[in-house]
Amino acid sequence: MFSFADRFRNFVRNIYMMYNRVEIFRGMNEVSRKHYGEDFIDTYELGKGMFYEMANSHPLLEEPRVTSNRIKYIGGIGFKPAKNITDQYHSILSSVHSGAIIISFGSQVSADAFPPHVVDSFINTAKNLPQFTFIWRYTKPLRDVPSNLHIVDWLPQNDLLQSPKVVAFVSHMGMNSFIESAFAGVPFLSIPLFADQVHNAYNAHRLGMGVILRKNEINRESMLSKTKEILFNETYLNRAREISSMLSIYPDDPSEIFVETVEFAAKASRLSEQFVLPGVNLQVWEHLGYDIVIILYSLFLIAIYVSFNIVRCVVSQISVRKVKSE
């Protein structure tokens, strides 16, 4: 059900994205013209003329939406079957009892920069769940680390996620991590940091395959509570496996979509005119229909005003005639 809160959030997000887009293209113009000259085409105009847009996402992992014919989903195009893991990780997984939890925040943000209380929250969680094995990508030396918490400076994320012994993934929810874990059928403890990660975390939660812990809410209690929820509530794991099963039989292959689309675009002509949306040049208030609402509301008020004056004139004339007749 699309509740009022959902619609309000969606409305605010759309307004923000519309205005934020202006700043994004302004920055792109500055960089482009710095390298290619001041006469370089406006990037917004360049974008409007694109034949196709390849989206690094998957329809099953996104909210249903009205979209354009030129949007092609190729999420999972780089997904590969698991490779044989090294002896180091084979040794770790072979000693797993109740399950393994992968902790990784991608390559753009180093966990080494996390505040001490965040690091302490992870260590405390591992201490309180000794039956589980934790594998954390963290490059700095740590003190007081329990034996079930393995600190590594690099990990083969995709290969580990596809191990049947991995039962949860603590992630920043970058798109590649989202897709890899979804294909592997592993539920999430999502800790989004910035950009599209908040959106991805929301989608995982909406699909029933993850819980969200906001970065400014991390402490010992919240980390342990959320981790227990994802580990001991089997509905998350069952739903993640259900999504994984659907992804494996999804009829559209992203590699084929990419190749066929590029080949078609190379052979066809005037595609930008064919696929351009009629409202691409509308202002925000026009896109939202405010101008139409204002006009209709104004016409409604004018109609009421005219009707009121007509009725008043008729009543006045009747009153005058009545007085004269008396």
Is a pLDDT exceeding 70 seen at residue 173? Answer: yes
Return the CATH number of 87-248, one of 3.40.50.300, 3.40.50.2000, 3.40.1010.20, 3.40.120.10: 3.40.50.2000
Domain limits, the chain = 4-75+253-275, 87-248, 289-321
pTM of the model: 0.78
- Strand partners of residue 133: 100
Is a pLDDT exceeding 70 seen at residue 326? Answer: no
For 91-126, the pLDDT digits (tens) are 888 888 889 999 998 777 777 778 889 889 999 999
For 177-206, the pLDDT digits (tens) are 999 999 999 999 999 988 888 889 999 999
Q: Using CA atoms, how far apart are residues 182 and 176, in angstroms rounded to an integer?
A: 10
Q: Where are the alpha helices (DSSP H) in the chain?
A: 4-36, 43-48, 87-94, 116-128, 157-161, 175-184, 197-206, 220-232, 234-248, 254-267, 271-275, 284-287, 290-325
- Overall average pLDDT of the 128-154 stretch: 88
